């Protein structure tokens, strides 16, 4: 068992315990509201990890601004956010559900059947240790959502027999030059976003796609045509080798790359020239080559087993999740990571590896003893929402 130093007096070291099992909850009948209700303690624990004490004084103001802005978007999930905020009884829920600021590295292999691999990076501790899988159904069919209690959007999910998808943060649009002025561009972009009306928050749109789209083609059309509140990168796979694409989005335009691809947090190097100055995410903290180094590392690696591709620099001090999904088989493999020491230390697994196979009416844990991964001893949660069948 890996042992990690406890939190230092300065608060730079995360509280580490033995790797935990990743909860799997069936909330098809209640959705994210039910997930927040049954997972309130976990939701508050994650909020405390991700919102440091000094920032909490701003949370009520950020919540008010976020709630007003979300009410002007097409998102059908605003009432859910309001209900979850009431369950939490603490500020921060509105703001978290209106934003997405993380790094990611994603690879899609279209043959022999489409497979999506991705990591998610986040600067605060807790996101890896507290990750969960929620079984949801918005009408088009069951899907497994890699998520956290209190979140209404979708960042990574798989709908068996339909499609799987993930979000990467797009590069930052710059109005200025120089790293010292990046905070100014972040604020100006945020102000522009909050001034817009009638455009989708990307994570809300991706959930809407999983709730309503019955085919890969429908999902691709929605993700490439809906007007967005901010730029984003959508990775989308279906069940056939011809069903794999990267959808690079600005607020009103889309560029689609089909077939195999690897992407981090910049426009794909094989894409068309872009107007304006765009800076790859990760540049401010880790240098101008960070995104491209992560992309090339994952693109070049010949993965043989689950998660053997999670290596530096794809794995870094900010990595919190690694995920593998297949829409054709309905399989989802997931592990959470946390830092082993200070802010720039390496990470190690904070959860057991979850191997899940999602079918048309239930999900079962699968024994992947033939894969070169850590053994998973998952106690799969039984149905926690009324009317849902138990997980086997």
Give the pLDDT band (50/70/90) at residue 185: confident
CA angle 51, 336, 326 (to 5 degrees): 125
CA angle 365, 371, 376 (to 5 degrees): 40
Please state, as a whole number, how many other Cβ atoms lie within 10 Å of the Cβ of residue 233: 23
Q: Give the tens place of pLDDT for each residue, 233-278.
A: 999 999 999 999 999 999 999 999 999 999 999 999 999 988 899 9
DSSP H stretches of helix in 71-147: 78-88, 93-96
pLDDT for 258 equals 97
Does pTM surpass 0.85? yes
Length of the chain: 392
Domains in the chain, start-ordered, CATH in brackets? 24-365 (3.60.60.10)
10 has pLDDT over 50: no
Beta partners for residue 261, in sequence order:
108
pLDDT for 193 equals 84
End-to-end CA distance of the chain: 28
User: Phi/psi at 332 (nearest 5 deg)?
Assistant: -135, 125
Closest CA to 130 of 105, 151, 147: 147
Beta partners for residue 136, in sequence order:
143
């Amino acid at each position: 068992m890996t042992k990690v130093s406890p939190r230092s007096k300065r608060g730079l070291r995360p509280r580490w315990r033995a790797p935990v099992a990743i909860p799997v909850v069936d909330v098809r009948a209640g959705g994210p509201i039910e997930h927040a209700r049954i997972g309130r303690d976990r939701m508050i624990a994650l909020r405390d990890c991700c919102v440091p004490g000094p920032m909490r004084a701003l949370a009520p103001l950020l919540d008010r601004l976020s709630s007003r802005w979300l009410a002007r978007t097409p998102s059908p999930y605003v009432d859910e956010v309001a209900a979850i905020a009431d369950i939490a009884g603490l500020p921060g829920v509105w703001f978290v559900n209106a934003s997405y600021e993380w790094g990611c590295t994603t690879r899609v292999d279209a043959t022999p059947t489409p497979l999506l691999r991705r990591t998610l990076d986040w600067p605060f501790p807790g996101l890896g240790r507290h990750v969960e899988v929620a079984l949801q159904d918005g009408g088009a069919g069951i899907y497994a959502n890699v998520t956290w209690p209190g979140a209404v959007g979708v960042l990574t999910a798989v709908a068996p027999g339909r499609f799987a998808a993930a979000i990467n943060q797009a590069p930052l649009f710059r109005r200025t030059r120089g790293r010292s002025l990046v905070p100014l561009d972040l604020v100006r972009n945020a102000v522009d976003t909050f001034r817009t009306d009638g455009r989708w928050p990307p994570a809300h749109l991706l959930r809407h796609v999983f709730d309503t789209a019955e085919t890969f083609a429908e999902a691709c059309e929605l993700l490439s045509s809906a007007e967005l509140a901010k730029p984003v990168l959508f990775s989308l796979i279906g069940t056939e080798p011809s069903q794999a694409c990267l959808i690079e989005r600005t607020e009103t335009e889309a560029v689609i790359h089909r077939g195999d691809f690897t992407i981090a947090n910049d426009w794909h190097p094989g894409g068309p020239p872009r107007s304006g100055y765009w800076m790859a995410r990760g540049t401010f903290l880790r240098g101008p080559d960070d995104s491209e180094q992560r992309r090339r590392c994952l693109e070049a690696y010949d993965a043989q087993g689950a998660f053997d591709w999670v290596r530096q620099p794809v794995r870094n001090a900010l990595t919190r999740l690694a995920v593998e999904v297949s829409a054709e088989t309905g399989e989802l493999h997931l592990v959470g990571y946390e830092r082993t020491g200070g802010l720039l230390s390496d990470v190690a697994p904070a959860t057991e590896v979850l191997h899940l196979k999602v079918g048309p009416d239930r999900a079962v844990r699968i024994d992947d003893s033939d894969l070169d991964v850590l053994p998973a001893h998952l106690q799969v949660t039984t149905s926690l929402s009324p009317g849902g069948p138990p997980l086997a």
